[in-house]
Amino acid sequence: MATSGSQLPEPIGRFQLKPPASILLYARQNPVSQAVLRRWANALGIAGYQVFHTIASQPGDQIPLPAPIQMIISFGGDGTLLDTVCIAVRRQIPVLSVNTGRLGFLSLFSPAQIQEVIRLLQSGGLQLTYRLILQVRALSNQEGVRIRRFACPWALNDVVFFRGNTPNMLTIHVQLPNHETIGVYRGDGLIIATPTGSTAYSLSCGGPILPPNTHAFLLTPIASHNLTLRPLVMPGDARVQVVVQTDRSWQLTIDARAYPWTGEAAYEVWLADHRFPLLLPPSFSYFRLLRTRLFWALDSRDYYAGGARENERTNGSKWHSG
């Protein structure tokens, strides 16, 4: 589903997929993930679905499509899910992620939930949400030559300009297309993050958390040499031009895909018109996810030896609207 301007599609819908629909199962070279994939492939086959599967030889591999696919299931952690972004965005194929990793902020289904997922697929019980993504393109140099083109220009989490292995800090000039300066970032680099990516690398660098349906993106400095440069929330219809000023090597990453470079380069980054279709459990709550995965707003005064206080058990308030 594509949109224009700042219009955002309905964040929540319902997804139903009945046999004999085609499902692609995807995992990296991880024995645990591959074992879970095989169990799910067997159960989905018994349920009547056409099942295809692929194993990446290394992270970031392009995922081949063996046939027309109506759904993708990834097995691993959030990094494995990011491998599916390019194909899911280009073909608008919904993705469900099974967590065989650690934290799993986007991978919200457990390996044991296969029969529940089959039931939800057939009944239309899964939530379908469209996540904002970033798009990046290289700007032309003074000779009018664009120095790089990306086969996949989209990022679900973030676009990162990083000094890489060099010990020297980067100087990054960020401006609007009309050449109005936003700031000059001197330090280890700069993260441009989506609301989904606000709980990833950006958060560890002091960036704020944006709920997924917030039409905005973040500029978060990495180890800034200037203490007055703080994370900045940009409006969703903005475009930023990022000029890396250095004669040394550095690295650009688009989600987990790394692009090393040497010398100066300029890029433009903005929120794409396309969205990433992500499947979630029927009872999904973003703020409950923050509490359970990141221990958001956890305060030891709210707990005692017998368990949570009453306000937590009753969802925090006796007051109601209406």
In a domain, 295, yes or no: no
Query: Would you state the pLDDT for residue 8?
Result: 46
In a domain, 20, yes or no: yes
Given a contact cutoff of 8 angstroms between Cβ atoms, the answer to whether 273 and 211 are in contact is no
* Residues 56, 84 contacting (CB under 8 angstroms): no
What's the predicted TM-score (pTM) here?
Answer: 0.89
Question: How many domains does one find in the chain?
Answer: 2
237 in catalytic set: no
CB neighbour list of residue 119: distance below 8 Å, 6 or more residues apart: 125
Give DSSP secondary structure letters for 158-171: EEEEE-TT-SSPEE
Report if residue 265 sits inside a domain. yes
Tokens of 85: 């972004």
Structural domain containing residue 150: 133-273
Q: Which of 61, 78, 255, 302 is catalytic?
A: 78
Separation of first and last alpha carbons in the chain: 35
Whether residue 3 is contained in a domain is answered as no
Residues 152 and 187 in one domain: yes
Of the candidates 124, 154, 176, which is a domain's last residue? 124
From first to last of its 322 residues, the chain has per-residue pLDDT tens of 444 444 444 456 899 999 999 999 999 989 999 999 999 999 999 999 999 988 876 655 567 777 789 999 999 999 999 999 999 999 999 999 999 988 888 999 999 999 999 999 999 999 999 999 999 999 966 554 556 788 899 999 999 999 988 888 999 999 999 999 999 999 999 999 999 999 999 999 999 999 999 999 999 999 999 888 999 999 999 999 999 999 999 999 999 899 999 999 999 999 999 999 999 999 899 999 999 888 888 777 766 544 445 445 445 555 555 4
Q: Can you give the pLDDT at residue 319?
A: 56
